[in-house]
Amino acid sequence: MATAHVKRAYKYRFYPTDAQAAELSRTFGCVRKVYNLALAARTEAWVIRQERVNYNATSAMLTAWKKTEELAYLNDVSSVPLQQCLRHLQAAYGNFFAKRAKYPHFKSKKKSKASAEYTTSAFRFRDGRLTLAKMTEPLDIVWSRPLPEGAAPSSVTVSRDAAGRWFASLLVEDPTVQPLPCTDTAVGIDVGLNHLLTLSTGEKVANPRHERADRVRLAKAQRTLAKKGKGSSNRAKARLKVAKIHARIADRRRDNLHKLTTRLVRENQTLVIEDLTVRNMVKNRTLARAISDAAWSEFRSMLEYKADWYGRDVVVVDRFFPSSKLCSNCGTMQSKMPLNVRTWTCDCGAAHDRDVNAAKNLRAAGLAVSACGAGVRPQRSTPGGQSAVKQENHGATRGIPRF
């Protein structure tokens, strides 16, 4: 549940001077170098000597690296981003050992995100002017929205995306994030491709298909890029054009998802979604492009953290729950329900829209979990056409267990 001390990142675009851009580019390079060196040292220590190296040990290594002639250039940038990247590596190892992520991988100059994190000792924020360490002038930030009144950033992350745009993300405590008044409304949400969302209320949200809208421009820019010689300045310009189109697609998609998730969280106390394995679904070469454009994983992520901020409940139904096959009127489960069947009529006489029916079943399953902590799963068989929903007491509060 959200509190008055929720930490929130406010991201702004800024336009650096040539000197600032050069300094930040050097910092990005040094951060990447230190991260890779520390990762190599930790990997080697474990593979060869079965020795675990922690953050303190890599911090001592960094001090030694700075004293060598080969890596003396690390002294030319602020030490804080270098220390922070070692903390990020430590967190990556923590996620790996907790089985939340894969083993940390090396950062690539061309593919990895260029970023550096500054803590309070490495920046000055006064009267709406942000000045980073090793810089004499404040950043020219476009304040597209105000920070919370009296907010003092605890950290600043500076980044540059593939399209060459510069961003500063300020982490602050946001007192405006408070739990919303409780309501008795609940909604089931079925995601799809023909419609981005179908709600249990019967509302269908159109899929904007942002990637498809710019597909012709993107294809033309990619063909132009493919014809340029590697390493040439013309290739760099062509790559930038492709990156800008991708950035435009991502920005529009993110903006649409923010508006949708904010509305859903404000209007409903309980939100029920399906636990989809998007990572496996995009292996389908026919649908991969459309699924990626829909951004189901990003939608779920936004919904969950906003629900946590505003005191709402997100219930996740197991992916094997037959929401499309069940009749939301009588509970009878159909033996088959091919994807091309969009409407169907149950033996009880109820006519169903496939997606609306699925959303209604998700809502009912989610309410069962919220009410009594029960897990919901289909029976192995449906003798006599009886209800195919079975409740079991698994003590679940946030999701429906897999069977």
pLDDT (0 to 100) of residue 400: 42
Q: What residue has token string 């435009």?
A: 248
Q: In angstroms, rounded to a whole number, what is the distance separating the alpha carbons of residues 132 and 137? A: 8
355 counts as catalytic: yes
Indicate which residue of 23, 211, 313, 355 is catalytic: 355
pTM for the full predicted model: 0.83
How far apart are the C-alpha atoms of 360 and 75, rounded to whole Å? 60
More confident residue, 28 or 400: 28
Residues ≥6 apart with Cβ < 8 Å to 325: 333, 334, 335, 336, 337, 388
pLDDT-derived band of residue 2, with 50, 70 and 90 as boundaries? Answer: very low
Which residue among 23, 211, 274, 318 is the active-site one?
A: 274
* Separation CA 245–CA 212 (nearest Å): 12
What's the 3-state SS for the chain? CCCCCCEEEEEEEECCCHHHHHHHHHHHHHHHHHHHHHHHHHHHHHHHHCCCCCHHHHHHHHHHHHCCCCCHHHHHCCHHHHHHHHHHHHHHHHHHHCCCCCCCCCCCCCCCCEEEEEEHHHEEEECCEEEECCCCCCCCEECCCCCCCCCCCCEEEEEECCCCCEEEEEEEECCCCCCCCCCCCEEEEEECCCEEEEECCCCEEECCCHHHHCHHHHHHHHHHHHCCCCCCHHHHHHHHHHHHHHHHHHHHHHHHHHHHHHHHHHHCCEEEEECCCHHHHCCCCCCHHHHHHHCHHHHHHHHHHHHHHCCCEEEEECCCCCCCCECCCCCEECCCCCCCCCEEECCCCCEEEHHHHHHHHHHHHHHHHHHHCEEEEECCCCHHHCECEEEEECCCCCECCCC
Q: Among 142-146, 379-383, 398-402, name the one with the lowest average pLDDT.
A: 379-383
Please check the confidence at residue 159 and state whether its pLDDT lies above 90. yes
Average of pLDDT values for 255-273?
95
Name which of 61-70, 148-157, 202-211, 359-368 the model is least confident about.
359-368
From the candidates 190, 211, 304, 313, give the one annotated as an active-site residue: 190
State the average pLDDT over residues 167-182: 92
- pLDDT range class, residue 49, cuts 50, 70, 90: confident
**Mean pLDDT, the chain, whole residue set:** 87
How high is the pLDDT of residue 82?
97
- Is-catalytic flag, 184? no
Higher-pLDDT residue of 344, 372 = 344
pLDDT, greater one: 373 or 96: 96
Tell me the residue type at 55: Y
What's the pLDDT score for residue 4? Answer: 53
Q: How confident is the model at residue 284 (pLDDT cuts 50, 70, 90)?
A: confident
Is 274 known to be catalytic?
yes
Whole-angstrom distance, CA of residue 344 vs CA of residue 353 = 7
